[in-house]
Amino acid sequence: MPDMLNPSFRGRVALVTGASQGIGETIAIMLAREIPLVVLVDIQRDKLEAVAERIAGIGGRASVQTADVSRFDQAAAVVEGVVKENQRLDYLVNNAGITRDNLLMRMREEEWDAVLAVNLKGAFNFSRAAIRTMIGNRFGRIVNISSVVGVMGNAGQSNYSASKAGVIGLTKSLAREVAAREITINCVAPGYIQTAMTESLPEAVKKAFLEMIPMRRLGAPEDVAQAVKFLLSDQAAYITGQVIHVNGGMYT
Closest by CA to 99, choosing from 46, 162, 15, 143, is 162
Is the pLDDT at 27 greater than 80? The verdict is yes
Q: pTM higher than 0.85 for the full model?
A: yes
pLDDT tens digits, 171-184: 999 999 999 999 99
Which residue type does 103 have?
Answer: L
Give all domains of the chain, ordered by start, each with its CATH number. 7-193+221-245 (3.40.50.720)
Task: Return the amino acid letter for 144.
Answer: N
The set of catalytic residues is: 160
Q: How many Å apart are CA 74 and CA 96, to the nearest integer?
A: 14
pLDDT in tens, 127-160: 999 999 999 999 999 999 999 999 999 999 999 9
